[in-house]
Amino acid sequence: MKLTGVQLRRISMPLVSPFRTSFGTQTARDLLLVGVTVDDVEGWGECVAMTSPVYSAEYLDAAADVLRQFFVPAIRAAGSIAAQDVARVLLPFKGHYMAKAALEMAILDAELRASGRSFGQELGAVRDRVPCGVSVGIMDSVPQLLDAVGGYLDEGYVRIKLKIEPGWDTEPVRAVRERFGDDVLLQVDANTAYTLGDARQLARLDPFDLLLIEQPLEEDDILGHAQLARLIRTPVCLDESITSARTAAAAIRLEACSIVNIKPGRVGGYLEARRIHDVCVAHGVPVWCGGMLETGLGRAANVALAALPGFTLPGDTSGSGRYYATDITEPFVLDGGYLDVPTGPGLGVTPIPDLLEEVTTSVEWLAG
């Protein structure tokens, strides 16, 4: 298939409520969409980078620049190309996984639409619906947190994830356990906010029977995570540290984690995400699908990925209404704690033109 058209579309999506983590508070989600035309078939990709390099080294302006200057020209120079070739063609360029993932996703979407196959079929989905968890940001007070968690449980979410940071960890977890009981599937996400010196504090989470603690230390501190895993009973899950199947295998071998969060944008795309899944399954390590406040485009692909057999824990594949009053695709609506896996060709969803135009802040067409 030959790449004949590429657009870089910036959009800004207001959030239904502020979302606070250890690295900042968001009130809107600015996103970069990559639209491609491959042999007259349109495909869409979504870049999950943030506006500033606080979650990772990547950020939106840099993603647009590297796509414009290097990635798209390299793909065009390759001539006829399949989605499985994108990673190989872009291998000479270091890093920029989120930009690579967006371009691969768009080409894969077009390729699958042309062949009449869905993302789920291509990735190897074994379920037609997936259980959904929800990520709850840091709140101004414990009562506010309890109200939010109660609302999500009433909506049917089957797992709650609490964002934590030093000073906001044991007390909110204790409060949620006391209010909602031990049967609620509960986990915490530190987003690299702690150091190994905080091991004693993190061990205070052990009595609460958490599913896991996600990325407590810096992303490059694999040995620190291995040490921490021996000092606490709560299972350690890695997120930002996992950038490829190779790093996943290394982390597992070093016993730095017993659970892995797979975010396709963070690892360079859905095909590498599937390889990470396969590595983890081979080692008996459960995985789950993380979220980056995606639109319906990224959500569709994530739900398809989460239907693979190794995804045995509920992911951050929330319904559209968790973050956005209006999505740019048909909304994903929770049904008994589950979301249906799209079955249509490609992503199974497409942007609704009027809704997309409403949130678009700029469009750049890259010359051939």
- Residues catalogued as catalytic: 163, 263
Question: What is the pairing mode between strands 185-189 and 133-136?
Answer: unpaired
Q: Rounded to whole angstroms, how far apart are CA atoms 82 and 105?
A: 11
Residue with structure tokens 């500033």?
52
DSSP string, 252-317: HHTTS-SEEEE-HHHHTSHHHHHHHHHHHHHTT--EEE---S--HHHHHHHHHHTTSTTB-S-BS-
For residue 224, what is the DSSP state? H
Backbone angles phi, psi at 66, to 5 degrees: -70, -30
Q: Which amino acid is at 34?
A: V
Residues 6+ apart with CB under 8 A from 300: 119, 329, 332, 342, 347, 348, 349
Element (H, E) at 20: strand 3-21
Residue with structure tokens 């530190």?
190
Q: Rounded to whole angstroms, how far apart are CA atoms 222 and 277?
A: 19
- Of the chain, the end-to-end C-alpha distance in Å amounts to 15
- Sign of the alpha-carbon dihedral angle for 118, 122, 128, 133: negative
Report whether 18 contacts 139 (CB < 8 A): no
CB-neighbour burial class of residue 365 (10 A; exposed 0-12, middle 13-18, buried 19+): exposed
Question: What is the pairing mode between strands 24-38 and 3-21?
Answer: antiparallel
Q: Rounded to whole angstroms, how far apart are CA atoms 338 and 62?
A: 35
For residue 191, what is the DSSP state? T
Q: Which residues pair with 366 in a beta bridge?
A: 6
Length, in residues, of the chain: 368
